[in-house]
Amino acid sequence: MEQEALTGVIEPKTVAVIGASATPGKIGYSVVQNLVNDGFKGTIYPINPGVDEILGLKAYPSIADVPTNVDAAIITIPAKAVLSVIDDCGKKGVKGIIVITSGFSETGNRELEQELVSKAHANGIRVLGPNIIGVLSNSASFNGSFAPFLPYSGKGALISQSGALLIALDAATYTRRVGFEKLISIGNMADIDFADLIEWLDKDPNTSCISLYIEGFKNGRSFMEVAQKTSKPIVALKAGVSEHGAAAAASHTGSLAGAAKVYGAAFQQSGVIQASDLNNLFDRTLALSLQPPLKGDNLLIITNGGGVGVLATDAAEKYGIPLKFAPKDVQAELKKHMPEFGSAKNPVDLTGQAGYDWYYESLRYAIGHEWVDGVVVLYCETAVTNPLEIAQGLKKAIDEAGAKDKPVTVSFVGGEKSDEGIRWLVENGIPAYTAPDLAVNAMAALREYARSRELISSAPDAEFEVDEKLAREIIKNAREDGRDSLTEIEAKEVFRAYGLPTTTTKLARTADEAVELAKKIGFPVVMKIVSPDILHKSDAGGVKVNIKDEQAAREAYQTILDNAKAYKADANIHGVAVQEMAPWGTEVILGSVNDPTFGPTMMFGLGGIFVEVLKDVTFRVAPVSQNQAKNMLGEIRGAPILRGVRGEAPRDQKALAETISRYSKMILDLRDEISESDANPVLVYEEGKGIKVVDARIILKKK
Ligand code: COA
């Protein structure tokens, strides 16, 4: 049903333009003109109460007057009039309305937008927009927009939250020779959103790659769910990377989580490839729409120039596919297609003498060899070669090798003749670029796609045993106490209920109790103030470490209380926590925020100076599998510290990954209660020796 409703909007057979105009220059005129000029094969009904004919088509005063049912209505009347035409659309069986009109939520008119959606839904109608330029579909010859022409034809589909940008990119598809089957303007997303369109495009036989220009989602999780299930590559450019929400954060993690990082994490987890800018969005779309994924890391570079070879080698490392030398048999065979002074290592340098034959022979052999997963071909224009001929040789080699599951990307550096070669390659299904870095970046997109799919399809973790009931009990007690944050002791109890190893921590209300607890736990101990009014305990002089005997414990108890009272005279003091002094290990920080778009989100980073100064942290939307958690450990700049540097033993990354995964389950299960949290520091010991949460903070949602 959903699919059919969207088909009505994206590939309608009958279209009414409500607000069609006979006056050139008006949007209602452009839309009718575009439908006609771009050869729409279905029926067009211009709707206008004051005109009989528009561009040779009979016009009707109202959609209620048209003689047949209608699939889609394109709306180009002012905002205040839009609601008045919806019931008539319903009577004509309209499946979806394409609301070009502006003046809804983007200008603060939220109520009008809500009413529009409610009324449309009551009539069984889906809403695209409002505030959009429309929909363009090449295969349906449907230009239901005020963009002047259908895009350069190809297999991409671009959904854009910016209408103006989409018009500009429509024109750029021709100059860039990046082909699109569909361009869809999504505007305010009052009803139809990215997830709906991606689901539809996944089943569209004419689309092989889905490209997105995103300003912000309304519901990040539904996007992630759909993206994960999609069988086609999705490439996204996210605009707006300001640190929204960070200023008001109460926890460490809250102040580090910015929109860009959380979106980046969500993309990674749902198999969405990111683009760094508009050019990169097109470059990556070209590769992902034309080539299969790069399934392994054995990338071969074939070149006629050492310079571009080195640039490509640098790019390969930069984009995460470091080059390896090809096996001996591959090298021996390739040696046959180059002069004595060529190189068969990787990059394979055919030298400046290389013409059609050497390119053709070496690519045909390489792409057919089992060791090779993919090939980047580089060419520098020379006086003795013809770029178009080289391009044709490459295509012939690929076709004859029959290795359809291995990607090839190409870079031609040169002038007009090289551009001609590039155009020919793209028209023949081979992504070709003007610089080696671009060809390698495109290959990296194909590798990223393969990798993210491997991770998504890897077996899910076994369920952890946790005690959610106990965790909720502790939170309930704190709420009954009128608090919206947990004490360290309570936070650690919640962590323990989810199987996170924490230091033993007990509450002492008198100096005698403190001494007794310290004896039970075993000296040396750490003592800390427990007060819901003092979140930054060290600042208040509320922490004493390395307390070695009874006398010191007694004194520490008193000093901590005195300091706390001096810091905040009216603080509600629960007592002093006596805590096991864990042996020192590598300090890391774990934490969570409740992101406005994606909900519970995990953070991991190295602690101490790494988090304070370098902000060397990484994020994932909860839940985080242990495999994903392992990837997080490798992502931060300080990753080598966990792997063991300068003769130090590697840290217990397995225990750390499990802890991250358990933590993520905790924040997901308790998302109605927990707003932000930190485990900081967490000490990580040598491999096999586990981890320990030393300090914990949980801030509850305000209720
Ligand atoms: N049914 C049918 N036609 C109607 C109508 C109705 N209920 N109400 C008005 N019309 C007709 C008008 O008579 C007019 O036709 P005319 O040219 O023959 O007089 C036509 O619809 C358009 O209405 P008009 O009042 O002239 O509006 P407009 O053309 O100046 O502006 C919009 C209408 C929708 C273009 C304008 O409100 C708007 O939203 N512009 C921004 C659109 C945009 O940029 N969107 C993308 C953002 S990325």
The verdict on the CB of residue 77 being under 6 Å from ligand 1 is: yes
Nearest CA to ligand 1 atom 10: 19
Give me the DSSP letters along 644-655.
--TTPPPB-HHH
Residue-averaged pLDDT of the chain: 92
Does the beta carbon of 186 lie inside 6 Å of ligand 1? no
> What is the pLDDT confidence band of residue 247, given thresholds at 50, 70 and 90?
very low
What's the whole-number mean pLDDT along residues 333-359? 88
Q: Is the CB of 83 under 6 A from ligand 1?
A: no
CA of 216 to the centre of ligand 1 (A): 28
Strand runs labelled E in 78-204: 96-99, 126-128, 134-137, 142-145, 156-160, 180-185
What is the position in ligand 1's atom list of the atom closest to the CA of 102? 39
Any ligand 1 atom below 6 A from CB of 51: yes
78 lines ligand 1 (CB under 6 A): yes
State CA 681 to chain mean position distance: 28
The answer on pLDDT for 461 being more than 80 is no
Residue ranges in 336-435 assigned as alpha helix (H): 356-368, 387-401, 416-427
Ligand 1 mutation pick, 77, 80, 162, max ligand atoms within 8 A of CB: 77
- For ligand 1, pick from 47, 48, 186, 213 the residue to mutate: most ligand atoms within 8 Å of CB: 48
pTM comes to 0.91
Q: What is the pLDDT of residues 388-427, one digit of tens each?
A: 999 999 999 999 998 889 999 999 999 999 999 999 999 9
How large a percentage of the chain has pLDDT more than 70?
A: 97
**pLDDT value at residue 249:** 46
Does residue 64 have its Cβ closer than 6 Å to ligand 1? no
Instruction: Specify the pLDDT at position 343.
Output: 85
**Per-residue pLDDT reduced to its tens digit, 20-59:** 999 999 999 999 999 999 999 999 999 999 999 999 999 9
State pLDDT tens for residues 301-322. Answer: 999 988 999 999 999 999 999 8
pLDDT for 432: 97
User: Given a cut of 70, is residue 258 above it in pLDDT?
Assistant: no
Q: How is 213-273 classified by DSSP, letter by letter?
A: EES--S-HHHHHHHHHH-SS-EEEEE-----TTTTT-SSHHHHH--HHHHHHHHHHHTTEE
What does the pLDDT look like over 150-172, one tens digit per residue? 999 999 999 999 999 999 999 99
User: 442 pLDDT exceeds 60?
Assistant: yes
**Closest Cα to atom 16, ligand 1: which residue?**
21
**What is the amino acid identity at position 353?**
Q
Tell me: pLDDT of 260 over 80. Answer: no
SS3 letters across 283-319: HHHHHHHHCCCCCCCCEEEEECCHHHHHHHHHHHHHC
Q: Is 230 in the pocket of ligand 1 (CB under 6 A)?
A: no
Per-residue pLDDT at 614: 74
Place of tokens 């297609």: 337
Q: Whose CA is nearest to atom 11 of ligand 1?
A: 19
- Please check the confidence at residue 72 and state whether its pLDDT lies above 70: yes
Q: Which residue, chain included where needed, has tokens 């009008």?
A: 112
The residue with greater pLDDT, 342 or 276, is 276
Query: pLDDT tens, 660-678?
Result: 999 999 999 999 999 999 9
Q: Is 101 in the pocket of ligand 1 (CB under 6 A)?
A: yes
- Binned at pLDDT 50, 70 and 90, residue 355 comes out as confident
Ligand 1 within 6 A of CB of 175: no
Ligand 1 neighbour 173 (Cβ under 6 A): no
What's the 45 CA to ligand 1 centre distance in angstroms? 16
Residue 326: Cβ within 10 Å count: 21
Q: Is 521 helix (H, G, I), strand (E, B) or coil?
A: helix
pLDDT tier at 252 (50, 70, 90 boundaries)?
low
Q: Is the CB of 18 under 6 A from ligand 1?
A: yes
Q: What pLDDT is attached to residue 632?
A: 94
Please check the confidence at residue 245 and state whether its pLDDT lies above 50: no
Our answer on whether the CB atom of 623 is closer than 6 Å to any ligand 1 atom is no
Confidence of residue 92 (pLDDT cuts 50, 70, 90): very high
Exposure on the CB side of residue 274, measured as CA atoms within 13 A = 15
On the question of pLDDT at 244 being above 70, the answer is no
